[in-house]
Amino acid sequence: MKENNPHLHAAMQAVATACHVTRAVQERLQEVTALTKDDRSPVTVADYAAQAIVALTLHDLLGNPADHLIVGEEDAAGLAGDDSKIVRQAVVETVQHWRSGITEEQVLEAIDSCNHDGSADAYWTLDPVDGTKGFLRGQQYAIALGRIEDGRVVNGVMGCPALPISQDAPLDVPDPDGVLYAAALGEGAWEFSGCDPEAGPLRIGARAGQGGRPWRFCGSVEKAHSNRNDTDRVADEVGNVGEPVRLDSQCKYAMVARGQADGYLRLPTRAGYVEKIWDHAAGSIIATEGGALVSDIHGRPLDFGCGGLLERNRGVICATPDVHASIIDAIRTLGIDAESAS
């Protein structure tokens, strides 16, 4: 898979390194918080450091400048000024641990290089730390990197540094090794233990059918990420839905892709909200290459041809083929977000 795909190979190396970077920051949560006097500063340091590392790694491994275009979530403006000096220094020192000799200017340039607007025929999109609350709780979060060509996601890599590879292990206890996921269009989805791209790959697949058991949906721990009331209504309408599995970040796509859950519903939380491409690009291709279906809440494919936003979509549904149709039917029957269906 990756041997014949230089983009995927580079992405796996970049995300694997970012997993180590963010885990190191997560292990120093209290130290970073005490230094900065800000409870949220550790995830800020991890966000910026991971984005810099991914940009630098892609630059090193891919010779064509056109392959360095990234639609990223962060920019270095948030690190400017004396008020951000301590956080800025922490970001630079974190990157320097993996990139000896790099200067502050070079780190900030790497962060700001992820400023593409999504207008090119091909580019990357990056969420350097998806799942802020999970990261700060010491639980689940993800580094998600997707490659988009001609409006389609063709490669996706997702690092889940705290996710156990064993499906029997609890999700609220961080795993010390984590898991790396990779997918290429038409080539399947794969799991790598220890966030190690050189580990033996294991092909993953979504559940084949219900077989009489209750369906299992996964959702966010963070309430703001989806409309829980509507999710409960959909579950009741679908019927035979058991207790959900809750975890933060795009790791939920992996839950469906590897057969640990049947569906992931991200229902709109407010009128006018538009999903960002970095929140779904990597996870969506991992899920679809694992055999799941991914659409918006009206059954329309996700359209990654509108720049940084999924402007032609509303919400996201990821589910195994048998349950996907039931979810879409339930949403239609309940009239959820019906004004946006036209």
Query: Does the active-site annotation cover 196?
Result: no
Query: Does the active-site annotation cover 279?
Result: no
Active-site residue (options: 132, 177, 232, 329)? 132
Q: Please tell me the chain's helix, strand, coil percentages from 3-state DSSP, rounded to the nearest 5.
A: 40, 20, 40
Of the candidates 158, 182, 195, the one whose C-alpha atom is nearest the C-alpha of residue 23 is 195
Give the HSE-up count for residue 288: Cα atoms under 13 Å, Cβ half-sphere.
20
Cβ pair 121, 66 in contact under 8 A:
no
Of the candidates 163, 187, 182, the one whose C-alpha atom is nearest the C-alpha of residue 174 is 163
Q: DSSP of 91-141, one letter per residue?
A: HHHHHHHHSTT--HHHHHHHHHT-B--S-SSEEEEEEEEE-HHHHHTTS--
Q: How do strand 217-219 and strand 70-72 relate by DSSP bridges?
A: unpaired
- Tally of helices (H runs) and strands (E runs) in the chain: 10, 12
Active-site residue (options: 22, 47, 175, 337)? 47
Taking the C-alpha atoms of residue 312 and residue 176, their distance in angstroms, rounded to an integer, is 39
Catalytic residues: 47, 132
